Amino acid sequence: MAVKKDYKDQVLVEKLRDRKYYIPDSNPEFIKEVEKIGLTPAHMCYQCGTCTGSCPSAPRSSYRIRLFMRKAILGLEDEILTDPDLWLCTTCYSCTDRCPRDLAPTDVIMAMRNLAARRDIVPRNFLKTTQLIYNTGHGVPNNDANRAARLKLGLEADPETTHKYPEFLVGIRKLLDHYGLKEKADRILAEGE
Amino acid sequence: MSNHKYAFFLGCIAPNRYPGIEASAIKTSEKVGIELLPLKGASCCPAPGAFGAIDLNIWYAMAARNVVLAEQMGVDITLICNGCYKSIYEVNEKLKHNDELRDGVNEVLKEIDMEFKGTIDVWHLAELYYDPKIVGLKKIADSVTRPLSGVKIAVHYGCHLMKPGKERHFGDTENPMWIEELVEALGAEPVQYRNKMLCCGAGGGVRGFDLVHSLDITNEKMINLQEVGADALTEVCPFCQLQYDRGQIEIEDKFGITWGLPVLHYNELLGLAQGMSPDELALDLHAVNVEPFLKKIL
């Protein structure tokens, strides 16, 4: 009969039974949720490291996409969602382009950012973009200097967007409100004031 | 000679920071047989990184709203920014091919009396310029009245236009050459440089989250560009342009390094080659002085 590798001391075997592979704060459902949002079968990652080797953020920070992939599969939800490195992905998609398993590590990061945001963990610049879009329809809105420059070019002061047709903002705000996004941005940004 | 009509999706940074890109897109495309129709009431694409990071569902819905505006006009969309391309092109494709996503989005769009039908396609203006069925290199070359001869121009493709390659149709993503061909059609000499496909550093909300980190990536690009003696850098993405152009001033401020490399959107280059004046392109709005480049071609 084949014997599994283990200590011969039965007391010690019992003591360690659950500890060897058990991580107390692991959530096995986490990777499923990440895959559902990111639309990629992330659990198939075999840790080759092509992603980190392709990453522009890796050489200049502690951000490691391969590590995030592994932690996601291990269900280390808290560790991932509280790690500031989560926001250092430039979403260049080089890792996704090169992944030999045809996974999308970039979209895994995006999914985990979504999950962090559900816990109100979002850097302020992201929330400010949301507020700008709610108020003007643009993440980067027009200004007076630019209006003057546009007129000199023979363009209208405001482009043919929500800037010229602010009546379209009503629909945009309905969409954002459907997801409670503006309320969320306002609430979290107010915390820091 | 305009026989191809498109709804012109503007995005944010072109109209609101570099209006010369918008002006040159309208004028240059007209000369090669493309008519750009205003897409009234369009919004931010919305920014795939900075906005999608918070909730992808609302990113789908907001991008779909912009697509539906063009569906209602019955024309394809063309645009001039890689970030917009990711949002508008990718959401359009995703919703066309994923019933569950489309149903979810349409349920929300119903609240504003809209429905995504999946009846149009989305194109980057640069790919229409390259496509011989629409414009093609010959027509671009024929439209040139002031060849940009004697200058070396490096190309930054940007990430969201080309990658991930399996969800696009541009072929090689490791060392593409089609924008170099577009540069060559203007009479300029395209130059190759190390790690050409490296990101500009701005995307994913990183520019706003950690400016120094994002500038460090830009600075690596500048080092590689310096090595090959480029007279200018061209791109097809206003956000990359902002990162390279204003970024060089920020690099000076944070790192004490001065590069002084002029950065021009391909539409602006094409405008110059078709005889538009620097004033008609608002090149004075560029943070890095474009004069040294202009002196070589005017």
Do strands B122-124 and B34-38 pair parallel, antiparallel, or not at all (unpaired)?
Answer: unpaired
Q: Do B208 and A129 touch (CB under 8 A)?
A: yes
What is the four-CA torsion angle of A138, A139, A143, A146, rounded to 10 degrees? -90
Question: What's residue B2's pLDDT?
Answer: 54
User: Which residues 217-246 of B are in CB contact (within 8 Å) with A?
Assistant: 217, 220
Q: Strand order of the sheet with strand B263-265?
A: B189-191, B152-156, B232-235, B263-265
With an 8 Å Cβ cutoff, is A40 touching chain B? Answer: no
Mean pLDDT for the stretch of residues B77-90: 98
Cα(A86)–Cα(A109) distance, rounded to whole angstroms? Answer: 7
Q: Do A93 and B23 touch (CB under 8 A)?
A: no
Q: Maximum Cα–Cα distance for chain A, whole Å?
A: 88
Question: What's residue A1's pLDDT?
Answer: 44
Q: How many percent of chain B have pLDDT more than 70?
A: 99
Q: Which of B15, B58, B216 has its CB closest to that of A181?
A: B58
Preferred mutation among A65, A91, A112, A131 to probe B, highest tally of B CBs within 10 A? A91
Preferred mutation among A81, A90, A183 to probe B, highest tally of B CBs within 10 A? A90
Q: Does domain B144-297 have CATH number 3.40.50.11810?
A: yes
Q: Do B16 and A92 touch (CB under 8 A)?
A: no
pLDDT digits (tens, 9 = 90+) for B191-231: 999 999 999 999 999 999 999 999 999 999 999 999 999 99
pTM above threshold 0.90: yes
B91 exposed, middle or buried (CB, 10 Å; 0-12, 13-18, 19+)?
buried
Question: What's residue B272's pLDDT?
Answer: 98
Question: What's residue B258's pLDDT?
Answer: 98
Measured between alpha carbons, how far is residue A64 from residues A45, A95, A158, B157, B208 in Å?
14, 11, 42, 25, 20
Residue pLDDT tens, chain A, 193 long: 465 678 889 898 888 776 666 677 889 899 999 999 999 999 999 999 999 999 999 999 999 999 999 999 999 999 999 999 999 999 999 999 999 999 999 999 999 999 999 999 999 999 999 999 999 999 999 999 999 999 999 999 999 999 999 999 999 999 999 999 999 999 999 987 7
Amino acid occupying residue B62: M
pLDDT digits (tens, 9 = 90+) for B21-55: 999 999 999 999 999 999 999 999 999 998 999 99
Amino acid occupying residue A180: G
| Domain ranges within chain B, ordered by starting residue | 4-125, 144-297
CB neighbours of B244 closer than 8 A, spacing ≥ 6?
B156, B200, B218, B221, B233, B235, B261, B263
Cα(B201)–Cα(A179) distance, rounded to whole angstroms? Answer: 30
CATH 1.10.1060.10 positions along chain A are 30-118
Q: Assess contact for A79 and A71: CB atoms under 8 A.
A: yes
CB neighbours of B129 closer than 8 A, spacing ≥ 6?
B32, B135, B140, B182, B266, B270
CATH number of A30-118: 1.10.1060.10
Amino acid occupying residue B44: C
Q: Which residues of B touch A160 (CB under 8 A)?
A: 8, 10, 38-40, 42
Model confidence at B61: pLDDT above 80: yes
Cα(B63)–Cα(B89) distance, rounded to whole angstroms? Answer: 9
- Partners of B263 in the β-ladder: B233
With an 8 Å Cβ cutoff, is A164 touching chain B? Answer: yes
Q: Which residues of A touch B46 (CB under 8 A)?
A: 129, 133, 139
pLDDT digits (tens, 9 = 90+) for B241-291: 999 999 999 999 999 999 999 999 999 999 999 999 999 999 999 999 999
Q: Which residues of A touch B48 (CB under 8 A)?
A: 91
Q: Assess contact for A127 and A189: CB atoms under 8 A.
A: yes
**Which among B10, B45, B61, B200 has a CA at the least distance from the CA of A92?**
B200
Can you give the C-alpha Rg of chain A in angstroms?
23
CATH fold group of domain B4-125: Glutathione S-transferase Yfyf (Class Pi); Chain A, domain 2 (1.20.1050)
Q: State chain B's mean pLDDT as an integer.
A: 97
